[in-house]
Structure formats: C-alpha cells, structure tokens
Structure 1
C-alpha cells in the first residue's frame, strides 16, 4: 500500500507510524469563502488562530505529515460558506483526483432545514462522500443547556431528528461535534437511531479539566460508550490556556480508550487546526507514547484499521 507521499513522488517517511488520518481539513481562501477564516473571532475556543487564516492545500498537509506513513485521509467539512455547501465537496474531490487524497469526505448539511435532502443529494453526486457533519444548536456553557433544549436545530427538535433520519436512508454516518455538556443528549440520539453509525469528534472537547468539568465529561462519554453504534476520534486536545503535553492529556486519552475500547477509537489529526498547539509529528508521537501499553494489533487498529472500516476506505 503506497502512502500519500509516495503517490505524489515525495520522500516517504523512513520511520514514523503507519496511519489513516480520520479528520483533517483543506481550504483555498482565494477561491472559496470560509467566514471564520475571513472574520477573526477573538472569543473562539481556539484562542489566537490568525495563523490559520491562509490557504491550507494538499501540499501543506503532505509537508506537515511527512514524518509518518499516511495511507489515506478523511476530509471533514471546515465551516465553508453554508449557502453553497456542495462547492466545498466539489473542490475537495478535485484535490483527491490530483493528489490521491483525501480518500473519504464528510461534508455538511443542516438537518433542520427544508432543503436538507436536496443538499445531501448534491453531495452524493461525489463518490467519496461517506458521512455528514451537522452541528446541532448547543449552549455556550453547562449551566445553560436547558435553555436550548427543544429549540429549532437542537437534538430534541422534531424537524432536526427528521433530517437526521436521512443518514440511515442513504447509508451515511454522522460526525458528532458538540461540547462535553451535550454528550448525554447525543447519546439519546444514538440510542434512537441504533443503525446509524456515529463518530464523536475531538473526544467531546474535554476543555474543563477541573474535577467538576471532568465529571460531566466522563458521564457523557460513558453514555456514548454504552451505545455500540458510536465510535470516537482521539483528536483536538489542545487547550486555550496551556500547551499540548503528554502529562496534560494522558489521562483523558486513556479514559477514552478504556471506555470505548481500542476497536472503537481512531486517530485523527484535525490539522491544520491542531497545529496551533503542536506539530503533526509530535502529535502522533505523543499519542503513540500514551498508548504504549496497548498491543501492536490494538495500536494498529487505532492508527488506521478502524478508520478504514468506518469510512469504507479502499486502499
């Protein structure tokens, strides 16, 4: 199996880890509109992300990931202009035709809007589409969750749930992205749709590492782990107020792998966003260090086999 670097005539990593990257982004700001990359939000959970406000193309990803043997990648929607959602999917497929990656694509639709199925069918004209990421309405903090429950676009909204049912109809998965104080609600959706495959993005964002914050996160993670149709991406562990270190993230990573089992966890870089806190090479090496106690077959499942199966990637 050739790596993406070999396919593009680049030097293949002599060492490093063989992997499939289950979550990264590409964007061309010269030709497409990404509102968050044009209008800086000082209140973003990312902190200062001005360095992201430039093109991130396949060549950039290949350079960042060159220390490891990347068999395939999954492109996840990057908050492209939602008035023309299919444009991002079209552009990503053009990159795949030229560079041999991404090898699976997760675009966006709004589940609660009247044109959900129309937009979905537009995405499905492109062969690499494997799932959908649609972010439900969420509260800005744990103490405000009740205020958004049941509103339009929330996970209790009948219209949102009707749109969500399109995933099962078209044999697609859901990339779930909510902060940790909404994980239990997401588990209720997972239980209501047991035949829809779901993958939690970014470990449910365990941003609050206080005892109380982690208690809320653990409760939600347990609820999702109890749903056999839910997997999890171990990704985006950067915190706004501290660096990415093994010491800081070891416990939340190991709690996640113990809750879900290594057969339901997958590596995802979230580059270039994760690059605000850590290099690609160090990210992979840090996770490998944290998971050193697992067997070689378990680590192989984590780093590439689970993503290959979940996103139906042909190598």
Structure 2
C-alpha cells in the first residue's frame, strides 16, 4: 500500500471521528465507563496483592537450634539454610535477642524467671522467595544437622496462597468480561455510523474499492476513540485514586491495621499499557465486526 493511500485512509479515519460527533461521544462515554470500572478493579487488586505480599513476607519459618551447638556449627547451619531453593534470607537470632523480642511482645511480667536463666534456644528466622515453596523448604530444613525444631504458620500461609490465587482469577475474569462487553458496545455504536453511510460504502464497492480500503478509515476511527477513552480514564482514575488515598490513608483504622496504599505513580505505567492495549484492541475489533455485514456482497 502506497504512502499517499495510507495517508488518505488515516485522514479519513480522523475525519470520521470529528464528523460523527454523536456516535464518537457515545463511544467515548461507554468505553470510559467500562475502562473506569476495570481500572477500579485493577488498582484495588494491585493494593490487595501488595498487602498480601507484605503479609506473606512476614510469614517466616523459625528454625530453632540444638542447645550446645558451637559458633562454627551455628554458622554452618546458616550457610546450609541459604543453599536451599526458595530461601530468600536467614537472619540469626541469639537466645539473648530472642528473650528481648519476647519482652517487647509480652511485657516484663510474662517473662519473669527467664531473665536470670535464659533457656531460649538460638534460632534462624527464614524468609522465602515464594510461600508455595514453604512445605519443601521445611522438609529440607529438617535434614540440616543441629536443627532442633521448626515452627511456621502453615494455616496462615495456605490461606494467603489461596487468597492470592483467588485475586488473580477474579482479575482475569473481570478483564475478559469487560473486553467482551466493550467490544460488543463499540461494535454496535460504530455500526450505527456505518449504517448511516451504507450508500457511500455501496458506491465505493461498485466502483471497485477493496474491502481493506473501505474498512481502514473505520478501523482508524475505532482505534482513535479507544486511545482517547484510555487517556481520559487514566486521568480520572489517577485523580480519584490520589484524592481518596489522601483522605483515608491517615485514618486510625488503616494505621492500626498497618495498611499502606501503593503510590499511583508506581501503577500508572501498568495502567497506561493496559488502557492503551484495551483501547486499540477493542476499538479495532469492534470496528472490524461492525463492518463485516456491509462488506459482504
């Protein structure tokens, strides 16, 4: 296809956007509404995932060492732990540090009797790269010499894994549904524009215009509408999210629950890419579907 033909088709597509103002505005409003709903679920999902990850990172495995282990043996245990697949870090906690941690958690009265004769064992606090590897890591830890006991919150870990998987499934289901709905809506909306120009399309086919030549301006129109809708949606979501987070993040509930919101700037790139893909994809597919009937001769 020659450059002047491509230029003409692009100009026709752009002209259609401004020429058919009613259908353009209708498409924009419907696509913006759909994208805003998806964006809402996306930012909520990203914040839930971040919260789940922070909780997951806090679910370490405590590895208690045998009493009487030498400094060399304790150091070797730490090295052996770090060699296990799925282990991110292993922090050594001496019995003195363990007692101090217990004091901060339970208070002085609850640890009376431990301070004079500290019987707490030394330990390693192990953090994982992936919670789903917890069971395998625990089995490997049991094989290390001078390891006396292993403690972990297996029930909490299983619940976190299920929650994370559930969030991913829900996000994908919502994405697919919104793509289908958006495609159907923009297809029907652009179909009205195509129907109004059915005589013009018939004449173009009569004089020998190819289907591609007729289709491209409408394809460009759909893509432009999709991109504009995406840009508007990103702006609205960004302003609304920043305002709402600014209002609620300092409240006592979120401070007590230790819930921190993700900064919008860290999500904006993902949101822009998703909206750009949705806008271009839905606009192009919707336009193609709406043209099919009128190109069948």
Q: With structure 1 as the length reference, what TM-score do the two structures score?
A: 0.20
Higher relative contact order (CA 8 A, sep 6+): 2
Q: With structure 2 as the length reference, what TM-score do the two structures score?
A: 0.21
- Quick check: which has more Rg, 1 or 2? 2
User: As a proportion of its length, which structure holds more helix?
Assistant: 2
